[in-house]
Structure 1
Amino acid sequence: MFRPPESRRAVRWAGAATAAGTLVAFGAVAPAAPAHAANPIVTHVYTADPAPLVVGNTMYVYAGRDEAPTGTDTFVMREWRVLSSTDAATWTDHGARAGVGTFDWAGADAWASEVEPRNGRYYWYTSVNGRGPGWMDIGVAVGDSPLGPFTDAKGGPLISDSTPNSSGLNIDPTVFTDDDGQAYIYWGGYWGVRAAKLKPNMIELDGPVVTPQGLTNFWEAPWMFKRNGLYYLMYAANDTGGCVTDSAYACQRYATATSPLGPWTHRGVVLDRVSSTTNHAGVVQFNGQWYVVYHTADAPGGGNFRRSVAVDLLHFNADGTIRKVVPTTTGPPPNPGGGGPPAGTNLAPSATATTSYVSPWESVAALHNGGVPANSADRSNLAYGNWPQQGTQWVEYTWPSARQVNRVATYWFDDGQGIDLPASCQVQYWTGSAYLPVPGQSSCPVAGDTYTVTTFGTVSTTRLRLAVTARPGLSTGLLEWLAYQP
């Protein structure tokens, strides 16, 4: 039975006393056969504290391995494993790619970690028990691919008890790189959330450690991401004020901010308590869809110290708030990327959307709200339509300063009730005095149930317009419109 938080520390953190095992040949383990769609996503080993990362057409999940024997009431964790999928439903276990033995200075405990890419290399930030004074430290390993091999990047802790203003427990690092290239690290346990900038070399702090404000009831396990210009920080809480009824368990709360270091505004609970006492999650966008990756005790023989990674869909409301996650046993449907948005830097989230006309029951915000249409009749993430207008109507993106653009991707709306696929379309740009067709425009496809791509010569403009001509007697609409920089 788990105790209230003050006395529960001896249970949740008892893994700090486990002995380090001898780990060899990281990266030499042959991948296991792919596991098909279901939650947990792998069951041949126990995995915990997942951290997702998307590289190209692959989602990777970095997770610790729970090795506690049945009936053991403490964490036994000595290695980190890598799981991967190209459709978010079928997963391959690539085995242990790092562990306590990766760090000569470490004594035990391969706890929560995360991998962040930079300059073609992959930096693996880990919670590990260092030798000497202090309890838990944060180390950094580095590799030249998402699968490594990984080696110690620093030769000592990045963060330890000797770091000024460090957390009461230096665990659960999450690293986020903003659009300007500045990287930030967030970490902490025992209600002690901390944050700092990282230098470009990714293995040194750049300035003081700060204590983020506004993270209501923070306990541990921060996760940072950005969507449509808004910063999100998700974290584990164990309060009984709308989170859990038993403080031995945890939920996932989240907050938002307009700058990476806050101040933060608490928004609510995104994931209720799961079957394990700990609740550790990460969020990632893959093939146009958002996912939450977390752990439970649901695998056969599982428990609080024998946890397993699960994956489910994550959805946003039109105002940017997150809908509460509904955990499933089936996992998400396969998403191989066919018909999904093309890869590249989408400039639409930073623009203001306007239109010549929008139906009163629809919204121009649908154009760049990050929805993932299932088909052209899908209204689940808002829709833009201009019924009962006919002829040519337009939608437009405006940026506060000039942007370079050379292609757009469009997902057409077709409700079968007067809004139909258009007859034609044309991309136009603002020269400063007039709208002109973009140079060298390819065909402007009007197919349904998929993203269609229009390419053209690079233009530098503050306004990009899509003029859409309806079929006779009908109106037109869109579910998403993406604009890409070269």
Structure 2
Amino acid sequence: MSVRRWMAAVCGVITAVAVTAVPVHAANPIITSIYTADPAPLVVGNTMYIYAGRDEAPTGTNNFVMREWHVLSSTDATNWTHHGARANIATFPWAGADAWASEVEPRNGKFYWYTSVNGNGPGWMNIGVAVGDSPLGPFTDAKGGPLISDSTPNSSGLNIDPTVFVDDDGQAYMYWGGYWGARAVRLASNMIDTVGSVVTPTGLTNFWEAPWMFKRNGLYYMMYAANDTSGCVTNSNYACQRYATATNPLGPWTHRGIVLGQVSSTTNHAGIVEFNGQWYLVYHTADAPGGGNFRRSVAVDRLYFNADGTIQRVIPTTGGGGSGTNIAPSATASTSHVAAWESLAAINNGGTPANSQDRSNLAYGNWPQQGTQWIEYQWPTARSINKSSVYWFDDNQGIDLPASCQLQYWNGSSYVNIPGCGVAGNTENVINFTAVSTTRLRLQMTSRTGLSTGVLEWKAFQP
């Protein structure tokens, strides 16, 4: 489970498990009837399942209150069914509290649920494993005690966030860890015992917690939460999702970049899965009504790979993974003018500005030009676009918020105006419109008298 720097105080143990399946709306967050966190996706046949902890902290509580794990499912990654709690602290008779991050892995016709849970004995967090005959259980304790605990030689400083991967040769591996302590170990074929020594993976630059392992085209990928301020986040109380690749499941790993930048919650915990020929990123934010750092909610967005196997940065959307994907990172950007000390790359590099003065992810500015300037996205083939947003740059010097702006699309022979462009500072100015098919999207910016204009991030959404 993703923890920033707080210790959780949780009271009580639940003994009942809900079984009623309830349809939920197709939007990000994908469920708002309860708060959910630390999602782990799993594809079984034509269904994607998401296993997530439930945040139960009352408003104003600055600790995690988590006592049960819930399951959601979908056959289209857009419309979701909530199956309620399918495991809880009482699933593990030896456990005491803290139903933190978990993941389910199928093998031998069964489904093994690896969890972060607080044991009754010495040590703060342990990793337990439950087993069921279907993705929805019922699940029971598979081992009668922790799989990993503080007494495990070379265990992490915080034994949380298990991710399990079964390779093509049948060998299973588990990765976990917090407080900068990534760990890995082989699992026995019974999936409830370890084989050999716990190892410390190398090359996971700025690892903090929340590893996620998968394989694509013969290459191993490890995504994980980091909290450095070297392009990751603006404040180390937050986290981003970095990733590394390797040709061996135990590394060594080579850092490749950022999958997901800073989100609205301080914690950042995610999983990646391929479903119906499309890749998805499943993560959590604080975006649900009444949400917060201890009242988080699961979201889903599409994820794209470049031709060389690197991952394109995902920009969080509201409206669901099936309802809108920011395609600006895949566009070629151009401009009428960019200042020598600013960067055109800023406009679609996936930054999440804290305010209009935030330069942490680069900034575009067109000083000393005045009047009307423009920036433009171009794609090699026509794209359907129905929403755009712009976060304006204001350095309190020569660059200021524009007097006005105009969004336009190319119809094959000329630019056509799209109404509704906003110029507010310290926020995303969102424009929704009827979908257009185009290879070019242009944003015109008309400056205030004597000033120039700038942009921190400009998004274009494909429905």
Superposition TM-score, scaled by structure 1 size: 0.66
State yes or no: 1:233 paired with 2:222.
Answer: yes
SS of match in other structure, 2:245:
strand
* In structure 2, distance between residues paired with 1:121 and 1:243: 38
Query: How far is 1:326 from its partner?
Result: 1.5
| Residue deviations 1:399-419 (CA, integer Å, cap 9, x gap) | xxxxxxxxxxxxxxxxxxxxx
State yes or no: 1:104 paired with 2:93.
Answer: yes
Query: How far is 1:254 from its partner?
Result: 0.2
Verify the 8 A CA contact 1:108 1:128 in the aligned structure 2. Answer: yes
Partner of residue 15, structure 2: 23
**Unaligned segments of structure 2, at least 5 residues:** 325-379, 384-463
Pairing partner for 2:192 from 203, 219, 222: 203
The one-letter code matched in structure 1 to 2:173 is Y
Q: In percent, how many aligned pairs have the same letter?
A: 78
Query: How far is 1:379 from its partner?
Result: 9.0
Verify the 8 A CA contact 1:20 1:109 in the aligned structure 2. Answer: no
Larger radius of gyration: 1
* In structure 2, distance between residues paired with 1:231 and 1:40: 29
**Unaligned segments of structure 1, at least 5 residues:** 1-7, 336-376, 381-486
Partner of residue 14, structure 1: 7
Pairing partner for 2:183 from 175, 194, 200: 194
Query: How far is 1:36 from its partner?
Result: 2.8
Total equivalences in the alignment? 327
SS of match in other structure, 1:14:
coil
The 3 A distance-change label for structure 1 pair 39 and 334 is: closer
* In structure 2, distance between residues paired with 1:254 and 1:378: 29
* In structure 2, distance between residues paired with 1:214 and 1:191: 12
Pairing partner for 1:56 from 45, 58, 67: 45
Superposition TM-score, scaled by structure 2 size: 0.69
Partner of residue 150, structure 1: 139
Partner of residue 233, structure 2: 244
Pairing partner for 1:44 from 28, 33, 36: 33
SS of match in other structure, 2:243:
strand
* In structure 1, distance between residues paired with 2:134 and 2:71: 12
SS of match in other structure, 2:99:
strand
Partner of residue 255, structure 2: 266
Query: How far is 1:334 from its partner?
Result: 7.4
Verify the 8 A CA contact 1:90 1:334 in the aligned structure 2. Answer: no
Verify the 8 A CA contact 2:268 2:284 in the aligned structure 1. Answer: yes
| Residue deviations 1:67-108 (CA, integer Å, cap 9, x gap) | 000000000000000000000000011000001000000000
Verify the 8 A CA contact 1:191 1:219 in the aligned structure 2. Answer: yes
Verify the 8 A CA contact 2:96 2:118 in the aligned structure 1. Answer: yes
* In structure 2, distance between residues paired with 1:88 and 1:291: 9
The one-letter code matched in structure 2 to 1:102 is T
* In structure 1, distance between residues paired with 2:145 and 2:382: 52
Query: How far is 1:18 from its partner?
Result: 1.5
Verify the 8 A CA contact 1:12 1:74 in the aligned structure 2. Answer: no
Pairing partner for 1:308 from 281, 287, 297: 297
Verify the 8 A CA contact 1:217 1:238 in the aligned structure 2. Answer: yes
* In structure 1, distance between residues paired with 2:214 and 2:163: 10
* In structure 2, distance between residues paired with 1:89 and 1:176: 26
The one-letter code matched in structure 1 to 2:33 is H
Partner of residue 316, structure 2: 327
Verify the 8 A CA contact 1:171 1:187 in the aligned structure 2. Answer: yes
Query: How far is 1:20 from its partner?
Result: 3.2
Verify the 8 A CA contact 1:172 1:187 in the aligned structure 2. Answer: yes
